[in-house]
Structure 1
Amino acid sequence: MIKSWFNTARFGMFVHWGHSSQQGCELSWPLVGGVFSLPFCTDIPVEEYQRTAQTFNPQSYDPQQWAALAKQLGMQYVILTAKHHDGFALFHTRQSDFSIEHTPYRKDIVREFVTAMRAEGLRVGLYFSLIDWHHPDYPAFTEADKPYRFGQFRQPSTEQWQRFTQFLFAQLRELLTDYGPIDILWFDGAWERTPEQWQTEAIHKMIRELQPEILINDRLPGYGNFDTPEQFVPAQPPERSWETCLTINESWGYNPADRQFKSARQIIHTLCEAAAKGGNLLLNVSPMGNGQIQPELLERLETVQTWMALHHESILGTQPGLEPWQFYGPSTRKGKRVYLHLLLKPYDSVTVRGVPIRRVKGVQLLSNRKPLSYTSRCAILDSFSRDPLGELVIALSETDLDPHATVLAIDFEDESA
């Protein structure tokens, strides 16, 4: 069974970062000519894309600042791209010289990251792509392989694939033995080969032997503890634990050409929706080549942080609240308290249906604990019952409304509401 911390974490940070961030372009995909899902991803010649692996020197990289930001936002875990599809490792690996160790920076970015996150009490996750478009035995992607076509991938020889899988297993072993306990291993890239080629059963066995408590996402075919709908909150939540991974603009990596930023309100509303459906929001940030987070992202995150400072209780550690027919908006609960997230401005009141109206102890505005007046009613014959279900009408004024999302808290005598 999946660990309980993930089931109620609700908010995490995804960090997509690599040597190509120096070029202000998406990670990996430019070298294969782009992909339909990334509208601002340009086509960059393979050699030109990979050349910045030789110059990566992020002198402004401060993982302590990243950790402090995540903590202030109320995030519970942070996941870093230890290796993306381009094959460049942000960790020291004994398997290849295509890593941060062989750049002007030299220091182990993953080690610094893990240490900083743990110091803030955050859970640590590492992203690892099964694909490796740089390794000669994968085989490496070349200009002749363009345009990239899903389902039409150049296949290695038997000898090449044997060497590559040895390399793959060795790098995974390094990540799972050299950095202490890791909370999440976030796979990606399985679509280019079959589960049998990847040897997913053996991968999973090794992972469990090395880190029995680690969580694995659903992108290791045939295995995984949680689902990962991408760039979208599903209308109906998955049956098991889940998170939605979401970018703040339309790019995963730092891309100054992409100006389609989501507003802070959109991010907050997505967080409310995910929490109300029992999922987590894994919100992506994309540091620049020097290690600093893009100012436009920080501006939005500052607003989210201000909102979370007043309303985190309604998000973190919660369970889904009422049914959609009971309240027209996302809702969560924690013990005897139910939280209503008002994503649309009410006229002058909010109605909640199908609740035990005689067990209501009070209603308040969560941001400042202001008590709110309310009335209740039920069907005439039901009023003779000792414990009728009815509707609650909560009065609100314009001054009660938060500019991003107003949250009301309803307290009941017990948890059966």
Structure 2
Amino acid sequence: MKIKISLIFCFILFAYHSFAQQNDIMPQSTHYEAPTDPLVKQKLDNWQDKKFGMIIHWGLYAVPGIIESWSICSEDWIERDTTISYEDYKKWYWDFSKQFNPTKFNPEQWAKAGKNAGMKYLVFTTKHHDGFAMFDTKQSDFSIAKGPFANNPKADVAKYVFDAFRKEGFMIGAYFSKPDWHSQYYWWQKYATADRNNNYDIRKYPWRWNKFKDFTYNQIGELMHNYGSVDILWLDGGWVRPLESVNAEVLSWGANIPKWSQDIDMPKIAAMGRKAQPGLIIVDRTVHGPYENYQTPEQKIPEKQLDYPWESCLTLGGAWGFVPNDNYKPAAEVVHKLVEIVAKGGSLLLGVGPKPDGTFPEEVVTKLNDIGKWTAVNGKAIYNTRITKDYNSGQTWFTQSKDGKKLFAIYCLKPDEKTIDSITWNGNMPKKGTDIILISTGQKVKWKSVNGATTLQLPSKMNNQYALAFEVVPQG
């Protein structure tokens, strides 16, 4: 018991400092290849209207409240309790499958909280790198539906998560880890688990890798065929990729690349997925090409505007999954990031983690509700918008309506701006006779432009609303 307590304490701290090391963060590739399938293009356009989504990391790691999966990986950036052997540690971790019993599992609470925040799409971790399936897979006994939760009516967790979010009008995304560290076809116990890659030479044992390819194909097939309408297949673990896709850019990321190809036959997977789910958006993260339909910069926002589909994956707290006493971002910070991301052409995928009992922490619900107070009033400047060439001037960010007929300006207030009576931006100078409307109140505001600078005179002292959104409506 003393060992377990010390480990849990160690990894609560580790869950925070690991993010500073950036070793578990997937880089963003610089090349983008647009899809050609008309149905995929149509769904991708629809996804670009949504702008704000929720990614939920929930699995074995929630039980002790530690960083998701990574602690069982053997890489030099991973720290573990020195009083326990690596093999014993892995057994300790795997054994949480015998304890994970989320008897208060409440996906309706999650979906309601997401809707209240103004979120429009979901990405749910059906399986993380540790291989523990959050759905009732027939390919393995290592799943939520086979342990102590097996007799619960909602044991097929992914089904009930997807159903709850669909009822709230969300697009549905299935996160799936391509590596599977629990599978003997990926991490073979004949050898040590040296790092995140498969631990045997595929060239010597092609039959074993073919078994892993079949296993992966079949699990994704279950998700595509048994869980209703799925809009996004969100694939993590970009080091599992064809060797020919490892170019100079990938090598520059500093990852350990084996001499063999970890090819899982994405064309076959994509064909199967899109036959079952026409128009399926596939996000094969960092593997540039036809199966990375949008890019996913992680824990960062690109420096400049991008003219192709992308999302920033950011956490509400310090970790993707649940850790006790997490430090959650203020609602104003999340709103400001959402505004910047949308102005740069992206979407915000905000990460939250349910507790081991299956409910959101109260502080998460409160934060999402606070964010929603802003999106509910100012969403016109966010949803269904597209980029505009001059997208930023100081604290003001710009979007435009999808048809290009209206401009939106969003001024992000600083924490010390308790009240404000005017704002000024450069560029995007309105034409004479244009109406500028404060979206939160519907009031027209007085404005003037001098030497390219436009100043808005607000109707009264404005309390801090995180950000002030304006609709610029040309007349005639």
- Using the size of structure 1 for normalisation, the TM-score is 0.87
Which shifted more, 319-328 or 101-110? 319-328
1-structure distance, mates of 2:410, 2:394: 9
Residues 69/151 of structure 1: CA separation in 2 closer, same or farther (3 Å cut) = closer
Deviation of 1:277 after TM superposition, in Å, equals 1.3
Q: Does 1:349 align with 2:422?
A: yes
* Structure 2 counterparts to residues 219-298 of structure 1, below 5 A: 219=285, 221=287, 222=289, 223-256=291-324, 259-298=326-365
Give the structure 2 partner of residue 384 of structure 1.
Answer: none
Residues 24/398 of structure 1: CA separation in 2 closer, same or farther (3 Å cut) = farther
Write out per-residue CA displacement over residues 65-88 of structure 1, whole angstroms, 9 at most, x where no aligned residue.
111111122211111000110111
Give the structure 2 partner of residue 205 of structure 1.
Answer: 271
Which sections of structure 2, spanning at least 5 residues, go unmatched?
Answer: 1-40, 81-85, 244-260
* Structure 2 counterparts to residues 7-406 of structure 1, below 5 A: 7-32=48-73, 45-106=89-150, 107-140=155-188, 144-145=192-193, 148=195, 153-156=199-202, 157-194=205-242, 197-219=263-285, 221=287, 222=289, 223-256=291-324, 259-321=326-388, 323-324=390-391, 329-334=396-401, 336-345=405-414, 349-355=422-428, 357-377=430-450, 391-396=453-458, 399-406=461-468
Deviation of 1:101 after TM superposition, in Å, equals 1.6
Deviation of 1:122 after TM superposition, in Å, equals 1.1
Residues 37/407 of structure 1: CA separation in 2 closer, same or farther (3 Å cut) = farther
1-structure distance, mates of 2:390, 2:77: 36
Residues 57/326 of structure 1: CA separation in 2 closer, same or farther (3 Å cut) = closer
**Is the Cα contact below 8 Å between 1:20 and 1:50 reproduced in 2?**
no
Q: CA RMSD in A?
A: 2.9
User: What is the DSSP-based 3-state SS (H/G/I as helix, E as strand, rest coil) of the residue aligned with 1:99?
Assistant: coil
User: What is the DSSP-based 3-state SS (H/G/I as helix, E as strand, rest coil) of the residue aligned with 1:198?
Assistant: coil
Residues 142/252 of structure 1: CA separation in 2 closer, same or farther (3 Å cut) = farther
Deviation of 1:14 after TM superposition, in Å, equals 0.4
Residues 74/141 of structure 1: CA separation in 2 closer, same or farther (3 Å cut) = farther
**Is the Cα contact below 8 Å between 2:57 and 2:354 reproduced in 1?**
yes
Q: How many residues align?
A: 398
**Is the Cα contact below 8 Å between 1:81 and 1:127 reproduced in 2?**
yes
Letter in 1 for 2:180: D
Which sections of structure 1, spanning at least 5 residues, go unmatched?
Answer: 379-389
**Is the Cα contact below 8 Å between 2:421 and 2:459 reproduced in 1?**
yes
2-structure distance, mates of 1:353, 1:325: 9
1-structure distance, mates of 2:390, 2:431: 19
Give the structure 2 partner of residue 382 of structure 1.
Answer: none
1-structure distance, mates of 2:279, 2:272: 13
Q: Percent identity?
A: 32
Residues 153/46 of structure 1: CA separation in 2 closer, same or farther (3 Å cut) = same
2-structure distance, mates of 1:52, 1:111: 22
Deviation of 1:410 after TM superposition, in Å, equals 2.0
- Using the size of structure 2 for normalisation, the TM-score is 0.76
Letter in 1 for 2:93: Y
